[in-house]
Amino acid sequence: MEPGTPRSDGFLGSFRTLGDSLLASLQDRLALFSVELQEEKFRLIQIFIWISAAVFTGVMAITFASLTLVYLFWESARLAALGGLTLLYSGALIAIIVAFRRYLARQPKPFAATLQEITEDRSCIRKPS
């Protein structure tokens, strides 16, 4: 054989090529999984912020509702102000809950792209040549 011509390693070469292909595929899938994991982390942080806002406005609504009941028989100006603040925070709570439910409904299934790629890989392997 000449030094410049490629040689066939036969059975062992086929195994190496197959192993290399499998490792490359695994590497691609792990990279995709890593990207999706980062997206899920970001989504989890967003959910935490939404929940924090809902809890804050809920606590404020309960606080002002309680203060409104305490001051029920005091001066009418205080009652109107506290009642208005109670309505304001209650409205904010309802708006946040509705927006949060819409946000959750729009979210994709976690790791959908990775699962899709694995499904496509399996279908390619199953196809007869």
More confident residue, 76 or 51: 51
Confidence (pLDDT) at 1 = 47
Q: What is the rounded CA–CA span in Å between residue 85 and residue 65?
A: 9
3-state SS assignment for residue 108? coil
pLDDT tens column, 82-104: 777 788 888 988 999 999 999 98
Distance, C-alpha 89 to centroid of its chain: 28
Per-residue burial over 15-32, b = 16 or more CB atoms within 10 Å of its CB, e = otherwise: eeeeeeeeeeeeeeeeeb
pTM for this predicted structure? 0.51
Half-sphere exposure of 98 (CA within 13 A, CB side): 6
- Which region, left, alpha or beta, applies to residue 40 given φ > 0 means left and ψ of -120 to 50 means alpha? alpha
